[in-house]
């Protein structure tokens, strides 16, 4: 696993890193090997379960989905999101990561947080658990996507996040996920860090990109951030297929002799 991890994250300044989310076995089978990293994101709360935010995903829910994804992934790395923790507690956080990591067999974990994660990352590194630190806009801090705010609109934000980036890198993080931040900040962090930056709404200057799969495929229509590019309008295609299915049932065109046992 270490060799596989190294081969992906060594791509900084060589080739862009590609990432997408997945929460199921079948979808993972489709995208496995096409992207470098598959993230079992807590975004499933909004995308799969219709929650208002990402805060109500439990560790057991993450384990169930991550196990399915990891079982299907033979080529891509699989990282999981550490679900929301109400009160910051290093010991509890490490215990939770160890438990999910062990039960799912994933390749690493993504954790939302800033410089307070230094000791956590150092200890997880000693346990051979790779950590991707999530900086900038951190969805777990919000109760609704309507309240999401772009990060880095003042100099105080700039100075702090650059300082945090260096500290998290030095503590042993394998990558930094930068979300919803001003272009100049994302570019600066990418330039000064030795580990790769993976952006989502953080400009093309990052070392890689990640999107929620349902967003880029045009399946999740309730929330559409500016940074999302739809590569397919799958929602309309699904509706068209379902309407055709219903029509054929009504007109007794399906099933026909080709789909029955005589």
Q: Which domains occur in the chain, in start order?
A: 2-231 (3.20.20.60), 234-262 (no CATH)
Of residues 132 and 153, more confidently modeled? 132
Cβ within 8 Å of residue 23, ≥6 positions away = 40, 41, 44, 47, 48, 65, 68, 69
* H-only helix segments in the chain: 2-9, 25-31, 44-47, 59-72, 90-104, 118-126, 155-171, 183-192, 213-216, 234-250
Alpha-carbon distance of 167 to 180, in angstroms, equals 20
Catalytic residue among 90, 112, 179, 204: 179
Model confidence pLDDT, tens digit, residues 176-220:
999 999 999 999 999 999 999 999 999 999 999 999 999 999 997
179 is catalytic: yes
Phi, psi of 152 (to 5 degrees): 105, 30
Mean pLDDT over the full length of the chain:
94
For the record, the structure tokens of 194 come out as 């030795």
Alpha-carbon distance of 105 to 103, in angstroms, equals 6
pLDDT interval class at 136 (50, 70, 90): very high
Predicted local confidence at residue 165, as pLDDT: 98
Predicted local confidence at residue 175, as pLDDT: 98
pLDDT interval class at 147 (50, 70, 90): low
Model confidence pLDDT, tens digit, residues 85-98:
999 999 999 999 99
Counting Cα atoms < 13 Å in the Cβ hemisphere of 78 gives 27
* Of residues 141, 120, 140, 115, the one with CA closest to residue 131: 120
- Most confident region among 5-19, 59-73, 149-163 by mean pLDDT: 59-73
State the CB neighbour count (10 A cutoff) for residue 100: 23
Tell me the CA end-to-end span of the chain in Å, nearest whole number.
51
Collapse the DSSP code of 157 into the 3-class scheme (helix H, G, I; strand E, B; otherwise coil) and give the result: helix
Predicted local confidence at residue 155, as pLDDT: 78
Alpha-carbon distance of 101 to 124, in angstroms, equals 11
Q: pLDDT at residue 33 above 70?
A: yes
pLDDT interval class at 225 (50, 70, 90): confident
* CA geometry: angle 201, 112, 18, nearest 5 deg: 45
- The answer to whether residues 133 and 177 touch, using CB atoms and an 8 Å cutoff, is yes
Alpha-carbon distance of 118 to 128, in angstroms, equals 15
pLDDT interval class at 60 (50, 70, 90): very high
Q: pLDDT at residue 144 above 70?
A: no
- pTM tops 0.85: yes
Model confidence pLDDT, tens digit, residues 78-124:
999 999 999 999 999 999 999 999 999 999 999 999 999 999 999 99
* Of residues 125, 43, 38, 116, the one with CA closest to residue 84: 43
């Amino acid at each position: 696993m270490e060799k596989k991890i190294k081969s992906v994250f060594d791509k900084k300044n060589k080739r862009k890193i590609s990432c997408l989310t997945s929460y199921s076995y079948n979808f993972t089978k489709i995208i496995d090997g096409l992207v470098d990293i598959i993230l079992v994101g807590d975004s499933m709360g909004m995308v799969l379960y219709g929650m208002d935010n990402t805060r109500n995903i439990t560790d057991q829910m993450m384990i169930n989905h991550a196990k399915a994804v990891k079982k299907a992934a033979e080529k891509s790395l699989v990282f999981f999101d550490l679900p929301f923790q109400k009160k910051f507690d290093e010991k509890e956080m490490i215990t939770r990561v160890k438990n999910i990591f062990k039960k799912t067999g994933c390749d690493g974990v993504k954790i939302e947080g800033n410089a307070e994660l230094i000791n956590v990352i150092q200890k997880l590194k000693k346990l051979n658990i790779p950590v991707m630190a999530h900086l900038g806009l951190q969805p777990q801090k919000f109760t609704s996507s309507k309240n999401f705010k772009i990060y880095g609109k003042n100099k105080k934000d700039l100075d702090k996040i650059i300082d945090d980036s260096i500290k998290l890198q030095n503590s042993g993080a394998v990558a930094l996920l930068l979300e919803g931040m001003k272009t100049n900040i994302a570019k600066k962090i990418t330039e000064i860090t030795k580990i790769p930056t993976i952006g989502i709404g953080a400009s093309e200057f990052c070392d890689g990109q990640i999107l929620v799969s349902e967003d880029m495929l045009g399946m999740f229509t309730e929330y559409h951030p500016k940074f999302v590019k739809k590569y397919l309008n799958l929602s309309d295609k699904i509706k068209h297929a379902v309407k055709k299915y219903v029509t054929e049932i009504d007109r007794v065109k399906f099933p026909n002799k080709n789909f029955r046992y005589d």
